[in-house]
Structure 1
Amino acid sequence: MKSLLLWGLLSLPFFLSAQTATLEVEVHDVSSSEGDILVALYTEEETFLKFEHVYRTQGAPASEGMTRVVIADLPLGHYALAIFHDENGNEELDTNFIGIPKEPLGFSNAKLKT
């Protein structure tokens, strides 16, 4: 199984505009430029990592080494993140027959305040 090569290193430069912000997520140790890096934002602790409860998603083409994903016009609030490298570009986290991810992923362990 692949090791978890992604760590959503959050450099939190927020550019405030009225009551919204821009969140820049830097994902380091991206293993290849194949596919996309996808970020899912969650607003509720109880529904974290449940796909049907994703607040907003954003992606960027993968770039070996480091990929930056920019999420603009984000209302001020608390968020948790799930990030994965969609290596084959099918916009899904591929798993094996027992549900273990086959693509690198990472996620926050706490809510973030913007």
Structure 2
Amino acid sequence: MRSQLFWAILSLPFFLSAQTATLEVRVHDVSSSDGDILVALYKEEKTFLKFEHVYRTEEAPALEGTTHLIIADLPYGDYALAIFHDENGNDELDTNFIGIPKEPLGFSNARLKTFGPPGFKECLVRFREDTLIEITLE
């Protein structure tokens, strides 16, 4: 009995460690090679699109046409992605005086609505293995 308990305790870290995989993001309709493509991953509905609550970010130099980003060692889970083309390289989504984005953006599994961004649940991606997501900028 003691040996079974010993082996169970030793194997516990293996079972508690988070499984990870790679998320590849292909961003289409990149209008120029100016600036960077920035990706923000969110894990919770209540913090979706709030920059101070981003779970993880990645960026890559913009490539006209299609830009590829690799997010390695991402723990399995549910995520919503928001992406924008930071054309002027200032690390923020530029908006006009009433808050409408002036730089192209996109979302996982959803598109912009007439009066704003899609919700967290509309953008949700269930991530359990190496995955490819294709997003078109608007």
**Contact between 2:37 and 2:84, CA under 8 Å: does it hold in 1?**
yes
The residue number in structure 2 matching 1:90 is 90
Structure 2 gaps of 5+ residues are 1-17, 109-121, 128-138
Q: Higher helix fraction: Structure 1 or Structure 2?
A: 2
Sequence identity of aligned pairs in percent? 79
Matched, 1:99 2:99: yes
**TM-score in terms of structure 1 length:** 0.81
The equivalent residue for 2:125 is: 112
Please state whether the residue corresponding to 2:123 is helix, strand or coil: coil
**Which of 23-32 and 43-52 deviates more?**
43-52
Q: How far does residue 45 in structure 1 lie from its aligned partner after superposition?
A: 1.5
Q: Stretches of 4+ moved more than 2 A in 1?
A: none
RMSD in angstroms over aligned alpha carbons? 1.1
Q: Residues of 2 paired with 1:41 and 1:103: CA distance?
A: 19
TM-score (norm 2): 0.68
Q: Using the TM superposition, give the Cα deviation of residue 66 of structure 1 relative to its aligned residue in structure 2, in angstroms.
A: 0.1
- Per-residue deviation at 1:111? 1.2
Q: Residues 72-93 of structure 1, C-alpha deviation per residue, up to 9 Å, x if partnerless?
A: 1101100000000000011100
